[in-house]
Amino acid sequence: MTLLRRHVRPEDWTPAGIDSLEDNAFEVVRSCNHRSVIAGPGSGKTELLAQRASYLLQCGVSPRPQRILALSYKRDAAFNIAKRVSARCHPEQAHRFDSFTIDAFAKSLVDRFGQALPPDWRPTPDYDVVTQSRDSILRDFFRSLSPPASVGTVTDIMALSVKTFEKRWIVSRPLSSRPVANPSPGEWAADQFWQAWLHGDPRSYLTFAMIGRLAAHLVHTNPMVRQAVQLTYSHLFMDEFQDTTQVQYDLVKALFLGSNTLVTAVGDNKQQIMRFAMAMDDPFTAFEADFKAQRTPLQNNYRSSPDLVRIQEVLARAIDTKTIKPSSKTAASVTGSSCEVWDFPSVAAEAAALAAYVASEMKTYALKQRDFCILVRVRAANYMKILAPSFAAVGIQLRNEAETVGEVALQELLGEPVSEMVIDLLRLVSARRAGRFWTDCLDAVCFMRALALDDDDARAKVASGLDKLSTVFAATHPNPPAAHAEAEAIVMTLLDFVGRQHIVASSPDYRQGDWLLKVIDAVTRHLETSCKAAKNWTDALDAYEGEHAVPLMTIHKSKGLEYHTVIFVGLDDDAWFAFRSQTKEEMCGFFVAFTRAKQRVIFSYCAARGNRAAIAPLYTLLGNAGVKTISKKTP
């Protein structure tokens, strides 16, 4: 690989791939201190981090052989940042950018150095990761305990909540502070749980939160591990920081607090919807206090029209009174109101009217199915049963993207590198004319194989291999597969062409546990299903990606996405059953739903589905923002 010989002078650096950055974003990109970036919806958070990586790498501020580490809460966010950096930098520079989920990073530390943990906290090398619900396991575990009199009684143990046991007791404090003198029933039971899962069987069992605590303890007891990580990474990016858990934040502190590694934490406290998954109440304030980080807000909104941004500000101030006034950088492209609440007398009338509306808007504004999104709070399958027939009646397919394929959510699957690679290759090898698919596949395979742009010989071999693959595929699979075995053979052939070792190297998550196997299984299953009614390969691949279907999904699955028009079905107490007990988190969820839209938001209510007394504050906010409720008496 040819090495880059020259760096750009910092004063000569300009953003790559975009026209400009707002002033605060440009300041963060070139900053030389810890930064806490409050970035609202549509502000370009991923782009900001990609531009900062570009600046640090291109200007030599992150000098070779040091690297940049990006930690994200979700797999798709970690992949998107890496993909954006690869598009902004020379491949050799982009290869010094490591993007992980924070759980995957913690696991990699335990996998590499875990046997250096003290014996009491040392898991077996072949430990299992437990991700499924453990309510019944915990109840059985509580029944097996006989606490000493100084701790309490069996009744005290059985009174512990299985729902909060992990957060409140198992991972509530660093392992360096255990065992606790004069423990409470919860503290004693948590210590018993740790020892049972670490040493009770030939193989240890751990949750990701437990792995995070072990990783932090590893750093605490082995300074050389901490030093090695600090020497490796000159800069740390933390994306979606509002969803960071105490366990994850404590690991970051253990690794980087007081070091020369500069931390940039980016997120939006108004979009914190992961409190149920142990997210901290206010991680930004803690980070700013611990790291003496400078808070920097971003003002621009590149997604939503001016009127939607005006309404967003009303909602935002109800969550955070200190939020800054956003500025829309997108022009309105629709006529009439940008946001309304529609009040229906029945679910049948609601379904018919929404389907007719989407059909009309598609025709009026020349929109496609995936320019729309149907959002629901919970129970997506129930809404799908009611809405899908009405949409089908006007010739529009509705697809539930909250459902799972095997063990992978469909929405998550579509963003997986393996899935994207398989579909890109299938688009190429099944096409009569390669067109843009040729360049896309050549670049993607070369990237996965870590080939430099100027490595002409190696790239020529990939090009030749793609030609051969296309010829063989056209002869052996002229039509979409009709059976699972054929779909599986096709997927395996394509992945073997890319090279399993290159696939694993391309995504840190594929190096952890059996996630890669689960994704490959889901790709195979979804390909088989997509081919059943397809007349040709183009139809099958369009069905795989939902090209001609309106997506229906939950709020949590929509985060990070955007659509021309968002239709939220079920603005009622039944869907928002936790509003009174978890008001702030539910308000954040409502804000996330609203901010997916570029041009229009429709809220749908049906009295037959539920009341709206508990969520009256949401209706009051919309009313204060000038959003009208329209009575829809007829379909």
- Return phi, psi of residue 561, to 5°: -105, 170
Q: Could you tell me the pLDDT band of residue 279, with boundaries at 50, 70 and 90? A: confident
Q: How high is the pLDDT of residue 380?
A: 93
Q: How high is the pLDDT of residue 132?
A: 60
Q: How high is the pLDDT of residue 272?
A: 61
The one-letter amino acid at 368: K
Q: How high is the pLDDT of residue 565?
A: 98
Identify the helix (H) or strand (E) that includes residue 515: helix 515-531
* Nearest CA among 574, 558, 571 for reference residue 603: 571
Place of tokens 């923002």: 625
- Return phi, psi of residue 148, to 5°: -70, 160
Place of tokens 């991700």: 131
Angle, CA of 298, 303 and 307, to the nearest 5°? 95
Q: How high is the pLDDT of residue 3?
A: 47
Whole-number Cα distances in Å, 386 to 14, 298, 362: 51, 41, 21
Inter-residue contact 242 to 133 (CB < 8 Å): no
Place of tokens 């603005």: 571
Identify the helix (H) or strand (E) that includes residue 339: strand 339-344
Q: How high is the pLDDT of residue 276?
A: 56
Length of the chain in terms of residues written: 635
Partners of 603 in beta bridges: 341, 568
- Distance linking the first and last C-alpha atoms of the chain: 64
Cα–Cα distance, 51 to 57 (Å, whole number): 10
Sheet holding 294-298, edge to edge: 97-101, 67-72, 233-238, 262-267, 35-39, 294-298
Query: Would you state the structure tokens that stand for residue 310, as one six-digit string?
Result: 């005006």
Q: What is the mean pLDDT of residues 297-310?
A: 94
Pairing of strands 408-409, 404-405: antiparallel
Work out the percent of the chain whose per-residue pLDDT is above 90: 68
Q: What is the mean pLDDT of residues 426-446?
A: 84
Pairing of strands 563-569, 597-606: parallel
Residue 346 DSSP symbol: S
Q: How high is the pLDDT of residue 322?
A: 83
Q: Could you tell me the pLDDT band of residue 443, with boundaries at 50, 70 and 90? A: confident
Partners of 567 in beta bridges: 374, 602
Maximum average pLDDT range among 83-92, 417-426, 427-436, 579-588: 417-426
For the CA atoms of the chain, what is the radius of gyration?
Answer: 26
Q: How high is the pLDDT of residue 438?
A: 87
Q: What is the mean pLDDT of residues 586-591?
A: 89
Q: Judge whether residue 459 has pLDDT over 50.
A: yes
**Contacts of 62 by beta carbon, 8 Å cutoff, 6+ apart:** 56, 68, 96, 234, 235
Q: How high is the pLDDT of residue 274?
A: 58
Whole-number Cα distances in Å, 629 to 371, 418, 419, 617, 622: 24, 45, 42, 14, 9
Q: How high is the pLDDT of residue 255?
A: 97
Q: What is the mean pLDDT of residues 186-211?
A: 95
Q: What is the mean pLDDT of residues 436-455?
A: 79
Q: What is the mean pLDDT of residues 409-424?
A: 89
Q: Could you tell me the pLDDT band of residue 635, with boundaries at 50, 70 and 90? A: very low
Whole-number Cα distances in Å, 253 to 223, 290, 291, 345, 378: 13, 8, 9, 54, 35
Partners of 328 in beta bridges: 301
Per-residue model confidence as pLDDT tens digits over 31-52: 999 999 998 889 989 999 999 9
* Nearest CA among 245, 244, 289, 249 for reference residue 268: 244
Q: What is the mean pLDDT of residues 366-371?
A: 97
Cβ neighbours around 518 below 10 Å, total: 16
pTM of the prediction? Answer: 0.83
Q: Could you tell me the pLDDT band of residue 454, with boundaries at 50, 70 and 90? A: low
Torsion angle in degrees (nearest 10) through CA of 71, 73, 76, 80:
-40
Cβ neighbours around 359 below 10 Å, total: 15
Cα–Cα distance, 36 to 38 (Å, whole number): 7
Instruction: Pick 197 or 634 by higher pLDDT.
Output: 197
Share in percent of the chain as helix, strand, coil (round to 5): 50, 15, 35
Q: Could you tell me the pLDDT band of residue 59, with boundaries at 50, 70 and 90? A: very high
Cα–Cα distance, 184 to 179 (Å, whole number): 11
Q: How high is the pLDDT of residue 275?
A: 57
Q: What is the mean pLDDT of residues 518-546?
A: 95
Instruction: Pick 632 or 541 by higher pLDDT.
Output: 541
Q: How high is the pLDDT of residue 508?
A: 61
Per-residue model confidence as pLDDT tens digits over 121-148: 999 999 988 866 577 889 999 999 999 9
Q: How high is the pLDDT of residue 634?
A: 54
Place of tokens 């309105």: 332
Q: Judge whether residue 413 has pLDDT over 80.
A: yes
Q: Could you tell me the pLDDT band of residue 2, with boundaries at 50, 70 and 90? A: very low
Summary mean pLDDT of the chain: 91
